[in-house]
Structure 1
């Protein structure tokens, strides 16, 4: 959608096209499009706030006018990109959506550090050949990113590439990120590599949704802290054997909703890392928990942790046939100001403790061992 229109005499701009009034630009379903303007040129979009490029799979969206680009283009090794940009790119762009562009690359390696200084929302889907969504050279550029959505990218193996930055700089990356949604990434094995130090600062993250990532073997490294995460939803991630480490679980002090479903290999939610029986993990704000269609789930945790759920209102466990106990070494279940000794049978424990003794908690156990509904 074009909010404003203008006329520019391009002949007076020496192969530079300037669009000083355009705030929204959408290019969609243009399979033959190869360039915004014929011939070698650069463009400037000083007020552009929203950019959408969909189903334009014969072109690269971005490139920068560098001596290397000029040489390679002059030799016929590069096609003109949709946007050939000088210096700072899109100084006011806040939302960028790229999709259905098939075999093209997303980012050139020549992005200036001060590009996209206000970008808050990034949506990427249906790119076939990219291995990394946000490479290391983009981390220092997308420092204002708040929302990231990635879907239907069959070759993506990791979302963030962290190699190449020192600890001081890297610790500041993506500090404003609030929401991550990953959907249908069949090649994804991890969000970023476990041995990447010092990792990402995701303490501001409020929502993490991961769907249909069958090869994902590790959700996040144990060094991650989720101090502000309110929603954690993981569905159809068939290679996960556990969801999070005990240290990550202890950081979830603001988690309100936990949903896990259709992850065939998952054996426990909180991994057993040999914790002491006196260790307590409290989900202070957790109100709603779902464990659905987890055929190999044997317990919430097989470790020696005491779990507390002082705000729990709803709990749904469905078709988890191997889950007989909430936690084999669980000493007690604590809800609100009350706590009860943990009995061996999960159905009995939830029924007596969560329902009879704490009326504001709803629990439903369906097809858990012997089928029953509470």
Structure 2
């Protein structure tokens, strides 16, 4: 097909057995199918494309839409649709040119579609520009990324005339009954009266970014009641706080769902993130903390079954401390490029709240002075456990992270010890099997009884910190997110 073509198919073209259609880098292609309505005598020609199983389109920079409405309603065998790097596409399905019925609600049904990928389509705003509902009974894998003008993923059809957002999909209950993996870059997951659990009853993996919206809030309310959600990957966004405490009308805290099925959480390139949850702020006020403890029917606990936490390039995040988040089942923790952290946890969390942790890796956090803080920090609302305080006063030892097997510390120039520098507490890691310390200004080793022995090189540390101070200002937030 020559690159000068403006339309690929007219209604005289017949491909009754066509199963795969791939179109790459036809820069002048404006349409694949005509958007003119077919007459009744020509409706049978829709059968020419009913056997399409796979459609892939990439690099067609002048293409305005993918399907006409008539063709889209005949794609009963379509299994995969991928559209990438088509700079002019505004909608996936075009409205018929002579359709003047503004109140007609179309239904688009793709009974066999399993994979839908829409990538780097900067002008894309809507799936279809008119009133419609869509159903995806077999859709399992959905990716919408790099589509800057899509603000909201889906909205109920009842909101069509009064929504203040621009939803990509208009849906009804059970539109996505089998969806398990979704990636979306936008501000809002769901708008309207439908509860999330009714829209995404089988969703297990969610990848979420908000790179194009600097003032966006994390869509906590759309996620915390998803019954099967096991994995969340949050990346390239400007969220300041992720998980919010919610108040009932009587003033009691209600956390709704608690992400009970979630086992994996990854946070990547969130340059404005300061706290994991806003419980950190309330904890700084001890009277408010006491009042909450007395009034709540049950404590606010998120992620009771979280097993893996990965945090990368969250440079303002202070620490992982949060009374709202449970780490009791955490087995793997990895921290990288989090320069705002001076420590990970306080001693009370390390001693009693990380009993299942087996792997800990911390890398390139230039302000981190200790892994576990055994001295109280202002605003954390946490103090040493009594056992730790007593052991420290006696110059004794205490066992923390009792099941930790693998410890890796890399490029931590400010690190002065595993616990607080002025603490007299000897730390025991009885299950440790692998210890790796590199590009730090100290050495660590484990004694036969499991005691961690730390030797600091203060001269080397002073030189390293002076070098870091000369490296200049930190990168701009937006540059970090978009790189």
Q: Which band: TM-score by shorter chain?
A: 0.7 to 0.9
**What is the aligned partner in structure 2 of residue 188 from structure 1?**
273
Which of 113, 122, 129 is matched with 1:31 structurally? 122
Q: CA deviation at 1:170?
A: 2.2
Q: CA deviation at 1:128?
A: 2.7
TM-score where L is the length of structure 1: 0.75
Taking the aligned partners of 1:190 and 1:199, their CA distance within structure 2 comes to 16
> Is 1:244 paired with 2:334?
no
Name the SS for the 2:161 alignment partner. Answer: helix
Q: CA deviation at 1:260?
A: 1.2
**What is the aligned partner in structure 1 of residue 427 from structure 2?**
307
**What is the aligned partner in structure 1 of residue 178 from structure 2?**
92
Q: By percentage of residues, which structure has more helix?
A: 2
Which of 12, 18, 21 is matched with 2:109 structurally? 18
Taking the aligned partners of 1:59 and 1:316, their CA distance within structure 2 comes to 45
Measured at CA, do residues 27 and 206 of structure 1 come closer, stay the same or move farther in structure 2, by a change above 3 Å?
A: same
Q: CA deviation at 1:172?
A: 4.1
Measured at CA, do residues 144 and 247 of structure 1 come closer, stay the same or move farther in structure 2, by a change above 3 Å?
A: farther
Name the SS for the 1:276 alignment partner. Answer: helix
Which of 379, 386, 389 is matched with 1:276 structurally? 389
CA contact (8 A) 1:317 1:368 kept: no
Name the SS for the 2:221 alignment partner. Answer: helix
> Is 1:259 paired with 2:361?
yes
Measured at CA, do residues 88 and 40 of structure 1 come closer, stay the same or move farther in structure 2, by a change above 3 Å?
A: same
Which of 149, 173, 197 is matched with 1:58 structurally? 149
**What is the aligned partner in structure 2 of residue 119 from structure 1?**
203
Taking the aligned partners of 1:27 and 1:42, their CA distance within structure 2 comes to 19
Taking the aligned partners of 2:110 and 2:365, their CA distance within structure 1 comes to 49
RMSD after superposition: 3.6
**What is the aligned partner in structure 1 of residue 471 from structure 2?**
none
Measured at CA, do residues 168 and 143 of structure 1 come closer, stay the same or move farther in structure 2, by a change above 3 Å?
A: farther
TM-score where L is the length of structure 2: 0.60
Q: Which of 1 and 2 has greater Rg? A: 2
**What is the aligned partner in structure 1 of residue 231 from structure 2?**
147
Q: CA deviation at 1:6?
A: 0.5
Q: Which runs of 5+ in 2 are unaligned?
A: 1-19, 21-51, 55-74, 79-94, 284-291, 293-298, 377-383, 392-396, 465-483
Of stretches 214-223 and 117-126 in structure 1, the one that deviates more from structure 2 is 214-223
**What is the aligned partner in structure 2 of residue 354 from structure 1?**
none
**What is the aligned partner in structure 2 of residue 353 from structure 1?**
none
**What is the aligned partner in structure 1 of residue 304 from structure 2?**
203
Q: CA deviation at 1:208?
A: 0.7
Task: Output one character per residue of 1:93-141: Cα deviation in whole Å (capped at 9) or x when no partner.
Answer: 1100124xxxx42324425222211111001235232656643422443
Measured at CA, do residues 52 and 202 of structure 1 come closer, stay the same or move farther in structure 2, by a change above 3 Å?
A: same
Task: Output one character per residue of 1:141-175: Cα deviation in whole Å (capped at 9) or x when no partner.
Answer: 3232111112222x221222332468786274101
CA contact (8 A) 2:413 2:461 kept: no
**What is the aligned partner in structure 2 of residue 285 from structure 1?**
403
**What is the aligned partner in structure 2 of residue 159 from structure 1?**
242
CA contact (8 A) 1:261 1:291 kept: yes
Taking the aligned partners of 2:219 and 2:313, their CA distance within structure 1 comes to 22
Taking the aligned partners of 2:110 and 2:415, their CA distance within structure 1 comes to 57
CA contact (8 A) 1:252 1:283 kept: yes
Q: Which runs of 5+ in 1 are unaligned?
A: 327-332, 349-366
Q: How many residues align?
A: 330
